[in-house]
Structure 1
Amino acid sequence: MNAPSTAALADDKPGKDERGILVIEDSRTFAIALRQFLEAETGLPVTTCASLKDLSELIVAAPGAYAIAVVDLNLPDAPRGEALDWTVAHGIPTVVFTATFDLATRGRIMEREVIDYVLKDNEFALPNLVGTVKRALDNRNTRILVVDDTRTTRKVLARMLSIQQYVVVEAGSGAEALALLDAHPDLELVVSDYYMPDMDGFELARKIRRSHPNVRLIGISSSTDRKTSAGFLKAGAHDFVARPFVLEELQCRIASNVETLTQLKRLQELAARDYLTNLFNRRHFFEQGPALVETARQAGLPASIALLDIDHFKQLNDRHGHDGGDRVLDAVARNLSRLAEGGTNLLARVGGEEFAILFRGADLAEALRLSETIREEIAREALLLGGETLALTVSIGVTEIGASERLDASLGRADQALYTAKQAGRNRVCAAAQRS
């Protein structure tokens, strides 16, 4: 198959879904508890109803209004899962909640292509159900690459994943998979068959591990040779699933790998943040800054850097103690976050009372203008500390980054400009000329 275009992949990425959640449950007490849990955990509005009649009226009255449905399998006027048939027929992704369960019931549920089912058989049923709904909603932010040279087989697997609400991209060969991974860094998980004409699953796994170490890989195969699973894992895969699939096993293994990705992202985010101000830290600034500057250069755009220091911070810290100093840092950081964080800028706390801002797309004149606005806004906001109203001020040094200049060299020149601002009386912005 032909690789999807960049535009096509970008268009498939969902934004925030503001639709509601529909709960069909005949127990009023349980419906109220579930609504409260779901609204608290998802932030989405929850509509409840207790019968197939009410369900049909809601769906007809507001088609397309619901992002997901939670359906009790057995209702007084729908004892054989007719409510489930309604939600599925109207294209609403559905989680089934049932107290009645056996193999026949399981088959009846799963053949309707539901997201999952949760049993009403223990005290953890309610949190399990809420967790399942949250995972399904979160899955829409996860893009999975399915690699298989057999179109029919690939489509079946892609359909399974789509039911789970994942965004699925397909590749018909190892080479196509690698090209898609290179072009689209938001592909986070690969599910790959072993048998392919251009390279087998082991070779693909090794290449992915070398070039995309943060991507997780699940190998799949219909081979009866048990060494196939070991071969995948030795080659760098994180998991293995044998065909023919047990659907629940496939769901659980993929969900487990997605959860691991989420936990790793959280750890990386924590490692990149300053513990006090929650701004990015010095390490993150120097890890990400050079790439951002290079991106600007390739686009023919300028880039500038500002180094900011809180005036008389040592005296403030000595006078009001470390708690007072922390409040000063927090106040300045909140203002900086409001004024300079996000967009094309990179903001970080790079020292005790020092902050750095990388302005992508701003030449020296624009960076000076932006820095002057920041200085004025910080000076305008007073801080009440120890019964005393303090007027906080900052000094800022600014420079434009040269065409082939390293980020640390530019930061050094910004530091010189900052020193000039302090020597000139503080509470001002000074510039250092761009080095030729």
Structure 2
Amino acid sequence: MLQTRQEPIADDRKILVIEDSRTFSLALRQFLEAETGLPVTTCGSLKDLSELIVAAPGAYAIAVVDLNLPDAPRGEALDWTVTHGIPSVVFTATFDLATRGRIMEREVIDYVLKDNELALPNLVGTVKRALDNRNTRILVVDDTRTTRKVLARMLAIQQYAVVEAGSGQEALAMLDANPDIQLVVSDYYMPDMDGFELARRIRRLHPKVRLLGISSSTDRKTSAGFLKAGAHDFVSRPFVLEELQCRIASNVETLAQLKQLQDLAARDFLTGLFNRRHFFENGRRLVDEARAMGVPVSIAILDIDHFKRLNDRHGHDGGDKALMAVARSLSASAERGFNLLARFGGEEFAILFPGADLDEAVRLCDGIRETIARESQALGDEALALTVSLGVAEIGPDDELDASLNRADRALYSAKQKGRNRVDTAAA
């Protein structure tokens, strides 16, 4: 399908903070709203909490719960949030093994201790991770249904999106059908193939997916077997719940860091748009997908008019501001649907329009040109009106992307020769 990226899951709900210290509650509210973008509702007692939940059931995406309140000294506030289905993070100054047991048996996301100066940022980080976990799909593979359900439930409490498979073959089929699966948690013993073989196949067929092996085997070589087969981590059964949670969170964090690095490598540093390399790597795929679906596809080259004159007059800083202004306008008007937008270098940008024939692409480009011409960019004390020229070509059934790009470039040259601030088309 013609989709270049997965959009994050939107949530219009609130964060609920239950904390009796007004000073700490205010600081936490400001920190959470700044870091998550979600509104925060605060209360300082079990009475206020019960009234809020009854008045607006389903309004809260996550709760931060102080374990000990004046009218709820034994974690009664946590009972309220958990009973009403609100994912909860516990924040407590009182902690021992008995308290830990009471917290964990209530199926909370995590607990954070009020024991050092990093407590507040640690708490906010825990909330952010839990919210982000909803964008991470994990596949649990185990042929024993009860064991599989227990593990899936633990992951669901952590807010991950969870799917399940009862065999190796079913797991591979799930991976083929769900390309958004990012992590596989697999048992070793399965009837059709063991965890080693599944790890090898995943590594070969789905190299971007991470795998964590689990086994109750007493053979200490099992962990080495998983890792040598391609797994990224291993946990022995019976596992300590918090250890498993930490290992999964660590692998998810690694995935996020890899994605960030890949995104940085694909982006132009100045404008934040995709770069020339990303355009070619993904443009050919989009063209092939459009052809397979039987829809047209066109390409355009855009160039800022008189850019050298602008640079000479306002310096490179002025030129950079003009480039960023055009990039912002293009992001708003061209980077939508399945379109692929990139900065090619200098003052030149490229746009791929899957689903648009030549006439439609010209109409879209003319709208882009008019939008940019209407806007002005402040350079010092001067308001500078920018204009752009565009060349457009339709990519035929047998055309290569490079050849079509060259035709669009010739059309761009023609547009400049005819006076600039216009759209011209390439001859077939």
Q: What TM-score does the superposition give when structure 2 sets the normalisation length?
A: 0.95
Alignment partner for residue 235 of structure 2, among 230, 241, 257?
Answer: 241
Tell me, yes or no, if structure 1 residue 256 matches structure 2 residue 250: yes
- After TM superposition, the structure 1 = structure 2 runs for residues 202-281 of structure 1, keeping only pairs within 5 Å, are 202-281=196-275
Alignment partner for residue 181 of structure 2, among 184, 187, 192?
Answer: 187
What residue is the counterpart of 1:34 in the other structure? 28
In the aligned structure 2, how far is the partner of 1:385 from the partner of 1:69? Answer: 47
Give, in angstroms, the shift of residue 190 of structure 1: 0.7
Alignment partner for residue 408 of structure 2, among 397, 414, 431?
Answer: 414
In the aligned structure 1, how far is the partner of 2:37 from the partner of 2:384? Answer: 38
Give, in angstroms, the shift of residue 388 of structure 1: 4.3
In the aligned structure 2, how far is the partner of 1:378 from the partner of 1:425? Answer: 17
Cα deviation, 1:126-176, whole Å, max 9, x if unaligned, reads: 111111111111111111011111111110100000010101000111111
Closer/same/farther in 2, CA of residues 63 and 385 from structure 1, 3 Å limit = closer
Cα deviation, 1:175-227, whole Å, max 9, x if unaligned, reads: 11111111221111111111111111111111111121111111111111111
Alignment partner for residue 350 of structure 1, among 344, 347, 350?
Answer: 344
Once structures 1 and 2 are overlaid, which stretch shifts more, 144-153 or 324-333? Answer: 324-333
Cα deviation, 1:236-272, whole Å, max 9, x if unaligned, reads: 1111111112011011011111111111111111111
The one-letter code of the counterpart of 1:350 is F
In the aligned structure 1, how far is the partner of 2:153 from the partner of 2:322? Answer: 54
Is contact 1:22-1:47 (8 Å) kept? yes
- After TM superposition, the structure 1 = structure 2 runs for residues 270-309 of structure 1, keeping only pairs within 5 Å, are 270-309=264-303
Once structures 1 and 2 are overlaid, which stretch shifts more, 20-29 or 287-296? Answer: 20-29
Tell me, yes or no, if structure 1 residue 314 matches structure 2 residue 325: no
Alignment partner for residue 84 of structure 1, among 68, 78, 93?
Answer: 78
For the residue of structure 1 that corresponds to 2:127, the secondary structure is helix
Alignment partner for residue 103 of structure 2, among 109, 121, 144?
Answer: 109
Give, in angstroms, the shift of residue 381 of structure 1: 2.5
Closer/same/farther in 2, CA of residues 190 and 318 from structure 1, 3 Å limit = same
Give, in angstroms, the shift of residue 387 of structure 1: 4.3
What residue is the counterpart of 1:174 in the other structure? 168
The one-letter code of the counterpart of 1:105 is T
What residue is the counterpart of 1:49 in the other structure? 43
For the residue of structure 2 that corresponds to 1:350, the secondary structure is strand
The one-letter code of the counterpart of 1:348 is A
In the aligned structure 2, how far is the partner of 1:173 from the partner of 1:358? Answer: 42
Identity of aligned residues (%): 83
In the aligned structure 1, how far is the partner of 2:73 from the partner of 2:226? Answer: 46
- After TM superposition, the structure 1 = structure 2 runs for residues 56-75 of structure 1, keeping only pairs within 5 Å, are 56-75=50-69
In the aligned structure 1, how far is the partner of 2:342 from the partner of 2:294? Answer: 25
Alignment partner for residue 404 of structure 1, among 398, 402, 406?
Answer: 398
Give, in angstroms, the shift of residue 308 of structure 1: 1.2
What residue is the counterpart of 2:122 in the other structure? 128
What residue is the counterpart of 2:4 in the other structure? none
In the aligned structure 2, how far is the partner of 1:49 from the partner of 1:425? Answer: 65
Q: What TM-score does the superposition give when structure 1 sets the normalisation length?
A: 0.93
In the aligned structure 2, how far is the partner of 1:274 from the partner of 1:238? Answer: 31
In the aligned structure 2, how far is the partner of 1:140 from the partner of 1:97? Answer: 22
Is contact 1:400-1:433 (8 Å) kept? no
Cα deviation, 1:367-402, whole Å, max 9, x if unaligned, reads: 111112222222232334354444322221111001
Is contact 1:202-1:232 (8 Å) kept? yes
Aligned Cα root-mean-square deviation (Å): 1.7
In the aligned structure 2, how far is the partner of 1:154 from the partner of 1:54? Answer: 39
Give, in angstroms, the shift of residue 101 of structure 1: 1.4
Give, in angstroms, the shift of residue 353 of structure 1: 1.3
What residue is the counterpart of 1:163 in the other structure? 157
The one-letter code of the counterpart of 1:345 is N
- After TM superposition, the structure 1 = structure 2 runs for residues 141-152 of structure 1, keeping only pairs within 5 Å, are 141-152=135-146
For the residue of structure 1 that corresponds to 2:183, the secondary structure is strand
For the residue of structure 2 that corresponds to 1:280, the secondary structure is coil
Tell me, yes or no, if structure 1 residue 118 matches structure 2 residue 112: yes
Give, in angstroms, the shift of residue 14 of structure 1: 8.2
